[in-house]
């Protein structure tokens, strides 16, 4: 596996705004360690924060500015698209989920934090999916 570098799915960022203080604290602790997100994650966060959470664009911009200070941003490129296509075909992920996984792989990440996919699934022998909110051990 590659050096220990983490990639965060949109749902981890959204837990920063959660009414569940334990999950919000866990998301904040993970993000404080730094990691990688893609432009797609920024876009999805903005869409959900606006549409579902009712945040204003200035509020969303402020949150994302903080995230951008602690996370590296990986672009969505034609290479991301092509790899995402192959991942969707091989593993059966939705295309947009496969793009997130492709961005994590292209950023040489070893861990993808998300609660949306199978815990401990390994993608292309490089990337392990971890649910940061699974089990009781994260609460201590």
* Paired sense of beta strands 122-123 and 127-130, if any: antiparallel
Positive or negative: CA dihedral 134, 117, 106, 78: negative
Regarding predicted confidence, which is higher, 138 or 9?
9
User: CA-based angle 53:58:61, to the nearest 5?
Assistant: 85
Q: Tell me which DSSP letter residue 125 carries.
A: T
Helix (H, G, I), strand (E, B) or coil at 38: strand
Once rounded to an integer, what is the mean pLDDT over residues 88-113? Answer: 97
Its pTM surpasses 0.85:
yes
Structural domains of the chain ordered from first start = 6-133 (3.40.50.1010)
Checking phi first, is residue 134 left (phi over 0); if not, alpha (psi -120 to 50) or beta? beta
């Amino acid at each position: 596996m590659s050096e220990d570098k983490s990639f965060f799915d949109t749902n981890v960022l959204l837990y920063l705004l959660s009414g569940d203080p334990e999950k919000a604290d866990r998301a904040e602790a993970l993000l404080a360690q730094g990691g990688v997100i893609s432009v797609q994650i920024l876009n999805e966060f903005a869409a959900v924060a606006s549409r579902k959470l009712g945040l204003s664009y200035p509020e969303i911009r402020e949150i994302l500015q903080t995230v951008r200070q602690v996370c590296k941003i990986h672009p969505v490129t034609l290479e991301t698209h092509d790899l995402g296509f192959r991942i969707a075909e091989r593993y059966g992920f939705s295309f947009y989920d496969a793009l997130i996984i492709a961005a994590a792989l292209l950023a040489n990440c070893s861990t993808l934090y998300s609660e949306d996919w199978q815990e401990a699934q390994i993608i292309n022998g490089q990337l392990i999916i971890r649910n940061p909110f699974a089990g009781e051990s994260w609460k201590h």
